[in-house]
Structure 1
Amino acid sequence: MNEDRLDRVLVLIDEANAQDPNSEVWRGESYPKELLYGMRMTEWLDRLYPDAPDLLHIAARGQHIRRWEVPRQTYPDTREGYLQWRSYLYGFHADCVAQLMTQAGYDPIDIERIRKVLQKRGLKNDPDVQSIEDVACLVFLDYYFVAFAAIHDEEKLIGIVRKTWKKMSEHARSRALELEFPESVRALLATALEAA
């Protein structure tokens, strides 16, 4: 029964994210952007925490559910605006996933647990919240950082790397150090991590 519920909710999350009008090409194939992101979160969860419980699989897959519905441009183009956007998204994603979990037959206790994880309540103190944050940081570094680095100045990138590093557990950091980057990005990462 639990496996059926898990499969059902993951399908519902994927169906929601498949509606993303934005696309990304990966290995020659086009995917809805947030569907691909969810797949990458699952991939890294399996790599980093192979014995992760079902609820973490749901949180990983739903981390960015329907994100395109709340564009960054709907908030001011400032640091404060960015933080307000991110804070709103935590609740938005939690609400979306909670609704699909209810539809798949999950009980209120499990749903509230996922809400806490997706709202990032208890980072550094709650192992599940930390696990999902680790996975999100590794997905960012592995799949998005090189392109991100190409459009931002070095000072901003160094700050972002340091903030990302600070949020990660030692386990995730050790895996991050195994990632391969172009030489220019490796130099920037080395500079950022000197004082991290």
Structure 2
Amino acid sequence: MGSPSKLQEAFRLFDEANSQDPNTEVANGVEQPKELLYAKRMTQILDEFAPDAPEALKLTARCQHICRWEIPRDSYEMNRVGYLKWRQDLKKFHAEKAAEILTKVGYDQETIDRVEFLLLKKQLKKDEDTQTLEDVICLVFLKYYYEPFLHKHDEAKMISILQKTWKKMSDKGHETALKLTLSEDGLALVTKALSTP
């Protein structure tokens, strides 16, 4: 395994890589690289949702989207097949980037393999850490990205997205999601999505 200093060094290098993101987002009045902000949000939600998460899961949460902008969505066909291929290629890309950094920091192969396993989302619903990671990804989406997303798509598409998100989550994830502070419109749509077969 690692140590607190090793974990912090990995976080520093992940953040350094993500700070190169040319895409930015404003949060709390400050413009920041998009993937750096996302990574910090992942860590924050993981710490709240699973404070005793193992080190490999903490590492995975921080590098889940590492350098994602290097493989843009529009470099693939703009259809379902293209989307799925993009997602698969991204997972492999993130795993390779993470492995490079973790090797540099001095992590053992077992930890690196475990981070790769989690980044590839293996055994969802069966592996506890993979499930926790998926819950955190969904919670980050619902807390920070759902509301802005809400007004970009029609109701039917949003209901479908919410239902798919809900399906990926555990009971604990559902409980936590229902405690999030959402706008009146946002909450109404979640309620509708959960009550629509």
Tell me, yes or no, whether TM beats 0.5: yes
The whole-number CA distance in structure 2 between the counterparts of 1:59 and 1:20 is 19
Match of 2:59 in 1: 58
1:76 is matched with: 77
1:129 is the counterpart of 2:130: yes
1:89-168 equivalences in 2 (<5 Å): 89-168=90-169
Residue 148 of structure 2 aligns to a residue in which SS? helix
Paired amino acid for 1:78: N
TM-score (norm 2): 0.97
Q: For the residues of structure 2 that align with 1:166 and 1:14, how far apart are their CA atoms?
A: 30
Query: Within 1, Cα distance between the matches of 2:45 and 2:115?
Result: 18
1:195 deviates by: 3.7
Distance in 2 between the 1:164 and 1:80 partners?
A: 19
RMSD: 1.0
Residue 194 of structure 2 is matched in structure 1 by 193
Equivalent position of 2:41 in the other structure: 40
Offset at residue 89 of structure 1 (A): 0.8
Deviation at 1:57, TM superposition (A): 1.0
SS of 1:181 mapped into structure 2: coil
CA distance in 1, matches of 2:89, 2:24: 23
Give distance in 1, aligned partners of 2:181 and 2:12. Answer: 32
Letter of the structure 1 residue corresponding to residue 127 of structure 2: D
Quote how far apart the aligned CAs of 1:80 are: 1.6
Q: 1:174: which partner in 2?
A: 175
- Aligned residue pairs total 196
Structure 1 residues not aligned, in runs of 5+: none
Distance 1:62 1:82 in 2: 21
Write the distance in 2 (CA, Å) between the matches of 1:33 and 1:179. 22
Deviating above 4 A after TM superposition, structure 1's stretches of 4 or more consecutive aligned residues are: none
TM-score scaled by length of structure 1: 0.97
One-letter amino acid of the counterpart of residue 60, structure 1: A
Instruction: Return the letter of the residue paired with 1:82.
Output: Y
CA distance in 1, matches of 2:156, 2:172: 26
Unaligned stretches of 5+ residues in structure 2: none
